[in-house]
Amino acid sequence: MKDQPYRQNPLLRLSYSFIAPIYDFVIERPMRAARRASLAALPTDQPRRVLISGVGTGL
C-alpha cells in the first residue's frame, strides 16, 4: 500500500472528486427500487442489522 503513486496524483484525485457526485446522482434513482426490494426481503422476525459494504476505487 505504501507504493501507490496514483494516490498522490492531484489531477486524478481532482477528477474523482468531480466525477463521484455526478455518478452518485445519476445512479441513485435507478438503484433505489432494487435497494428497497433487497431491504424489504430481510426477515422481520429478528433485530435488523445491515452491513452495506462500499465498493470503489480505493482512492
Query: For the chain, what are the domain ranges?
Result: 5-40
Residue 58, burial from CB neighbour count under 10 angstroms (0-12, 13-18, 19+): exposed
pLDDT at 28: 86
Pick the closest to residue 57 from 25, 21, 18, 13 (CA basis).
13
> Which triple of cell numbers denotes residue 35?
435497494
What local confidence, expressed as pLDDT, does residue 37 receive? 92
Tens digit of pLDDT for each residue in 12-22? 888 888 888 88
The 10s digit of each residue's pLDDT in 32-45 is 998 899 888 888 88
| Separation between Cα atoms, residue 33 and residue 36, nearest integer Å | 5
Report the mean per-residue pLDDT for the chain. Answer: 79
pTM of the entire predicted model: 0.47
Find the mean pLDDT for residues 15-30: 85
48 φ/ψ sector (left φ>0, alpha ψ -120 to 50, else beta) = beta
